Chain A
């Protein structure tokens, strides 16, 4: 089966600085791929490339059958974007809309559903999936960080996208809420059968939910494998990243 998204030799530069350099990445159908790496290594840029929000300076991206290259025009990407669900780092919920209206948004604009009763039913169904039935009429500013992430996940899935892209879904959350979000992603992936790319620097999260793990370093994929291979790996980048995460925890612990 063709992968949902395939990057080949993709490079992107900002202000003359190469952020992504010759990157190759494939997202197999129905799998959760976790893209890890330290801050500033180009993870979010890679996610924006995978979602078609950014175009590559070099190379090509096949996204749901549509080829995106440096010359691709913005209006050529409209239809393929409607098949995506994107959860941004801060949720990116629309402040001026209630939770219910936020979740209804893709139904109206990606699927063209106008019937209020159908929309209301689908919104409620989605809110039940993320266990937030009571917040439909609240506004994003009235929600906690974890609730906003769950609403963002609900909004990204309500129109049944083929590919879900999550940017740091557990960042800024306490460990309990973070694991709850992880479980939600795994459960929903099993139920809806979508393919997912999760960008994260949370190793615990990646090992818990990822079918495939990718480690980025300075704009390139430095390592790829499955969670079991990660734990056994002698790759210097893997060790360095894993140890870096541990040492930060120890320093914090000693200070306490």
Chain B
């Protein structure tokens, strides 16, 4: 009895030790966590942090290069680029987090069901996933947004749909190899229902690799959403959003006003980079063998 009471504690401590060990030996992951904190801070407090109103136009002050008053310069109607970039963090992050959350939940449910019960459910799901993957994913997202209508919600759904196969496949594989494991059978014999065994005993095992996937996916989802708004889908001007800001700034790059496009682009890159680094770092913690 005492054993079972102590072991989760020890295990927990061991895990934290491992995390600290990995962080110490891999400062890049630590930097990624700090950058994530910065991004979250901007997303939460963005509107109060921004020195100017992101929508406030000021025509006489248009196209000013970066200066002390306007760190990132001003755009073609005199709006402060820095404020717009900061405020946009929340929208971009919301889109990608919502999309990844939807694909996580839907993918988990479908993947668990297919992996646990198998049979025709598994076959049908696999066929559908194959078909989704048969499209170039960004192009499919374009098609979905074009069909459903040009709104921010539909950008989220489209991004969720193109991300879903990755989660469903991952969960399916993880559940499938464990459905006949000793502890799953024991739980079943102890009188738990299939659903309970699946949800409480098998699915949690799939969580660590899922977390890695989430982190890597978030970066990709941000890129996708920004790409879609870059070609004029979803977010509409004058809403501050990174993709649309780069698109608007692109018109001025050939005449040398680089700050309009470069700063939102760099910020976007930094966000994606953070999530990618974080994903790699998480993978090292979760599965040391896959370290590159």
Q: Are these two chains actual partners, yes or no?
A: no
